[in-house]
Structure 1
């Protein structure tokens, strides 16, 4: 039985979303990918890059505006950009696509156009009625998930509750089984404070919030170790024993992952009824149309989407 295709949304048409797709298609078989975006933008960018659009590449044209220049984002393009996302989501929910991979968007331009948009993750969760989306970034050798995402640091401690930790960890544990095919995920989780609170001398969140949450999870059968100091957890001794590391906040875990594999990592949204991966970088307007954009993250995102879709299909 032939597998269902993966949808790729070009993202912000003035950014490098079209570039990385065209460049990657020159040397990687993308015949199982359906490109959702403006056909004119795709072919004009290919001409600018002095590259061909391979005849095997499938695409479905979704108009943006009558005028798009690499590096110059326009608010008139935003309805078309969101239409790409909606088409991919509907196609995944309806079983037409096995997964969706998203090119980079520019949140500022979308909001300037009058649309409330805090990011792909939140948009996907709302459109798919997902209760709790969880951000996971992955390289070939490391997966890092987050309890909280884009919060000011002063708000992080108040946002971390026993209930949130239990829910986030259950989403991660479930999706590692269902979408990664890992029978019994091995999970490591960071404490919030330096030295994981050092017995309460550097903060009590570990004692009052995190450890009780982990007791609940262990009683449910989740294989989880922690809370560990972040500077201990992110060492080979511990990571080689784990399928995922969970950080309490954005800059506790992602700098470690990106130092290992920026440009080669995939951003994955767990907790959705569909498979969604993305590149780990932004629109890079200054590089659009130059031919200098790195395709490594897109290659990883598509590869991970294929693997997750296959595992997900097997688990159904």
Structure 2
């Protein structure tokens, strides 16, 4: 559900009223039923939420949507919209952890997360930069990457939430290579794209212009691309950042590796502002998320669009299906070999 006092409750309620969602999956919400009912009312969504203690009970429930509350959100139920507190931080952290536990245990097939407020997490003494870092830590995943995905453009970030001034010192050939490999692997296993064409953006204007505007391309980025190619990956670049996203949006590439947060997210949101999805590559579980924040300025008004939430749920269901097919294929192949 995400932040109890943000737009999470209302966009979840709106999204779960969409017929396409019920065709793709049977949703369970990790959150607080009281907040969800309030969100549904303000959004004019006619949907029934009922709290249950477990996934097994959710399967037996006749409610429109079952809600699993891990028990840390009672204090959040009565809070005012758009007023984050430590209670909000504890609640959203508890929702996510409960969902991760059930996904890791195979009780649910995928997780789609609503927006959280990082300041509220910190108020509660939870020192993570965001969802991605929590998921990586809880699933003991060392190699992971953030992908922003839409029908026309998919962007993966080589660095995530770091100050721009630190990007050049953080970038390393080994890091970029791992991101390229993760991208190729997960495009195949979770999106059904075999032999994906991966474009790697440069760091500097015009991809350095042969060293005129910087040497990171030749010293750091190109060696990663060359190593990826030697491992059978269709990678190319470094491409000028001012043109590569346009080319990818026209179908020239299946994904673009961006060197830093705003280099990738700026072009992506120009195209997929309403329907973009954030998904974490490299995890042992499927996780998608809305590509926007808690929108406190409109929380509780019913005006928030659920388009990204619908897209996140749909992508989570489809990724789970592709991953299931891939694992079945690997198991069948291994059986035939033996």
| TM bracket, shorter-chain basis | over 0.9
Alignment check: 8 A CA contact 2:104 2:285 kept: yes
The match for 1:177 among 155, 179, 188 is 188
The match for 2:12 among 2, 16, 21 is 21
The match for 1:39 among 16, 33, 38 is 33
3-state SS, counterpart of residue 10 of structure 2:
helix
Q: Deviations over 1:128-159 (max 9, x none)?
A: 01012201001121101111111111111111
Give the Cα separation in 1 of the matches to 2:69 and 2:122: 24
Say how many residue pairs are matched.
Answer: 307
Counterpart position of 2:88: 77
3-state SS, counterpart of residue 179 of structure 1:
helix
Counterpart position of 2:321: 310
Give the Cα separation in 2 of the matches to 1:94 and 1:125: 16
Task: Name structure 2 gaps, 5 residues minimum.
Answer: 49-62, 328-338
TM-score normalised according to structure 2 size: 0.87
Within 5 Å, which residues of 2 pair with 1:101-116?
A: 101-116=112-127
Give the Cα separation in 2 of the matches to 1:203 and 1:192: 8
Give the Cα separation in 1 of the matches to 2:316 and 2:95: 18
**How much has 1:169 moved relative to structure 2?**
0.9
After superposition, the Cα gap between the structure-2 partners of 1:112 and 1:198, relative to the gap in structure 1 and judged at 3 Å, is same
Give the Cα separation in 2 of the matches to 1:262 and 1:286: 17
Give the Cα separation in 2 of the matches to 1:280 and 1:238: 18
Give the Cα separation in 2 of the matches to 1:217 and 1:30: 37
Task: Name structure 1 gaps, 5 residues minimum.
Answer: 1-9
Give the Cα separation in 2 of the matches to 1:30 and 1:56: 12
Give the Cα separation in 1 of the matches to 2:249 and 2:178: 24
Counterpart position of 1:5: none
3-state SS, counterpart of residue 19 of structure 2:
coil
Counterpart position of 2:65: 57
Within 5 Å, which residues of 2 pair with 1:72-221?
A: 72-221=83-232
Counterpart position of 2:56: none
**How much has 1:234 moved relative to structure 2?**
2.0
After superposition, the Cα gap between the structure-2 partners of 1:52 and 1:79, relative to the gap in structure 1 and judged at 3 Å, is same
Give the Cα separation in 1 of the matches to 2:199 and 2:151: 18
User: After TM superposition, where is structure 1 displaced by more than 6 Å over at least 4 residues in a row?
Assistant: none
Give the Cα separation in 1 of the matches to 2:295 and 2:289: 15
